[in-house]
């Protein structure tokens, strides 16, 4: 059922491209007020995280049962979870553009950060401010890499 819709990477990219990156605060408010962020978007997040449902549930602040309820189409996400989904999709969009693949984004998210007391970046993604912090880290890495190309 949902797996058929998301049968390949191009389908995932199509779903992620619905969230125009970077997401402004105005467009974020507009998107989260629509109730359609749920089943397909959670399935897309699960696929890009290589089906790490515990991680996605942690990011959204919901139980595994609630995540299963949403991905089965029986339930809806709350407004805070919809905000998280949009911001996570924006982060993955930016990461895809900078690093070249969702797999590389996952690897990068598991790197340890000095600013976080040697914690992994992935541990910050359960709040909107944490996602914004990780987006900033990603953009800084892109900037640093572009500087090294010219040195």
| Domains in the chain: boundaries | 2-150
- In this prediction, residue 88 carries a pLDDT of 93
User: Within the chain, which residues score under 50 in pLDDT?
Assistant: 1-6, 147-151
pTM: 0.80
How far is it, in rounded angstroms, from Cα 25 to Cα 103? Answer: 27
Angle at 79 between CA 85 and CA 65, to 5 degrees: 70
Length of the chain: 151
Beta-ladder partners of 113: 119
Predicted confidence (pLDDT) per residue in 110-131, tens digit = 988 888 888 999 999 999 999 9
* 8 Å CB contact between 57 and 66: yes
């Amino acid at each position: 059922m949902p797996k058929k819709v998301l049968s390949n990477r191009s389908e995932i990219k199509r779903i992620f491209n619905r969230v125009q990156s970077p997401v402004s605060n105005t467009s974020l408010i507009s998107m989260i007020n629509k109730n359609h962020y749920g089943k397909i978007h959670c399935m897309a997040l699960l696929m890009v995280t290589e089906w790490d449902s515990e991680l996605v549930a942690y990011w959204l602040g919901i139980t595994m049962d609630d995540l299963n309820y949403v991905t089965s189409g029986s339930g809806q996400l709350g407004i805070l979870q919809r905000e998280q989904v949009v911001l996570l999709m924006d982060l993955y969009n930016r990461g895809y553009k900078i690093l070249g693949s969702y797999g590389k984004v996952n690897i990068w998210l598991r790197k340890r950060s000095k600013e976080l007391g040697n914690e992994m970046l992935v541990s910050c993604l359960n709040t909107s401010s944490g996602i914004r912090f990780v987006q900033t880290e990603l953009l800084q890495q892109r900037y640093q890499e572009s500087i090294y190309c010219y040195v």
